[in-house]
Structure 1
Amino acid sequence: MTPILSDALAPPDCPRQDIRSVQCSTIVKHVAIILYDGFSLLDAGTLAEALHVANELQSQSSNHSVTYRVNLISAGGGAVACSSSMMVWTEHFSTRDFDRLDNLFVPSGSGVAHASVDDNLIDLLRLVCARGVRVTAIGNGHMVLSAAGVARRDWPSMKHDIRLRSLSASAAEHDRDQALVTSLALLKMDLGAELAARVADRLGSDGGRTLAPAFEEMDAKTLAEKARASARWIVQNCAKPISVGDAARTSSMSERNFLRLFKRELGVTPSKYLLGARLDLTCKLLANSDLPVDKIARRTGLSNGERLSKLFRKELSMSPTEFRTQSRRKS
């Protein structure tokens, strides 16, 4: 029996001489949807369709950077019944298959409680997570992740209880919106907001207008998360000779846009934030070690003792030695 849905997402072989076709050098991302008895076919189908549309839209332009290949898998392989009793054929992934897997999605469904006590399914999820695969749940699919001891992971800005329609919307409409927004988050991260918005326009009801508020929120919060992630990176690497350009590259942004975003979200420039991180590290070393000031300066990315002393005078109105003396008196 041929797997349902997954074949539809596999691009055609690259013709050798047709330069307008999808280039063979395009990055291929392998996405798996793990199914269990009672899973939501609407979730799985919406996710698969969104990735298919992304492939299709890219094939119509010269910028085809990512091709998604989708596989439907299960703990034992073979036929799995969805919540409406339709049988769907799934593959059984072997250990070597996990090495090429980029994303795994767990759909919601009426059978999630039984799936949460399925030892084979739980072991499979734990193995996937141990390989560093990005695992995301849709709707109540997070119950299966919890049973496997996997930390629930929301896409930046994603809310599992987000409501995109009116309170009178049916459960099916709501489930589809959950799956679609999750799909858009993946597409936005991989391909940018513009293409994700085009997919939303293609798949969203009412021309995608009901998805607009959630998509705008996803965009804004994703940017905020980028700024916070960059701030964490600066703190973790402040002792190294890093620059604002290095921090901008960690967010895949131009330096100009990064500076604007960082200042908006953190309230200070990246340079000022880096200086503060280096001074905090310096204070800890002064208080908790007997290292000479000059050596501490080199270890915290502040070049030398002279520069460190000037910074302390400017920022703390005292010398490093005075700070060390005061901190030890307090302790």
Structure 2
Amino acid sequence: MTATPHRVVVLARHGVIPFELSIPARIFGAARTADGHSLYDVRTCGLDQGPVRTDADFDVVVKHGPEALAAADTVVIPASYETTSISRDGALPHDLEAAFERISDHTRMVSICTGAFALAAAGLLDGRRATTHWRSTQRFAELFPQVKLDPDALFVDDGDILTSAGVAAGIDLCLHIVRRDFGAAVANRAARRCVVPPWRDGGQAQYVDQPVPEADAPSTADARSWALSHLDQTLSLDDLARQQAMSVRTFTRRFRQENGVSPGQWLIQQRVDRARHLLEDSDLPVDEVARRCGFGTTASMRQHLRASLGVSPSGYRRTFRT
């Protein structure tokens, strides 16, 4: 018997960006079991039932009012340009405050882009890590100094509250949620259905306005490709820089410009991702998984998986073994 799908309710406010409003339905709707059963039930509601103005030249009509929020396992708040009442004094407008009061204390909260302003205005982000679109980070920090803002992250997972940067980072976050809920195999199938990468490296630094590099500036793509084919080995910064015939200093600077993270952080991300796949899709002993992913020891892999996923290798395998 198929378990009851996880209920996701997306709150559409006036001024909503249509692309971001559609992300949860598209990504969660593509998350299915191997035999095709839906794992999520996605519904869209408004502060009132009926037409919702968008920032485009068309409106959308939602079938559900704010009462739908009471039955949600996860609530998603996409970006809306009509946030004047929030951005002026950091307070929620009355209709949004009333809608939030319908949400259970046990509901997981998610924001896409500047939807984080609504979560912060509701006091849900006080003392917690969060992110938002890089163009709005300064205003966000001024309004909500009590929030631990990470302006460089594509998304932040703080347990029962998750926030993402702008636009396509909402895709990254929704795929991350699928991966967290049902494992990498389900998330990868959903990504393939939507023809998007299952994981993007780096952070918002890649997309912030900055001087255009010289046309002949070398990329670090060859080094990254080489590293992925040698993850089982001990890889030093010197090894990576040598693949691009760069000095370590130049390589490190160029790598961070391209990927938004340091080479060392990127390597850990790749090793953790490889470990997830092997734990899900193979019967290899845990120590062999650690060796093939380049962690060296089971203890090292356990430390990095706990830091990234909050579980041990054996715990992850028990939960997500295909």
Length-normalised TM-score, structure 1: 0.48
Length-normalised TM-score, structure 2: 0.49
Q: Which entry has the higher C-alpha Rg, 1 or 2?
A: 1
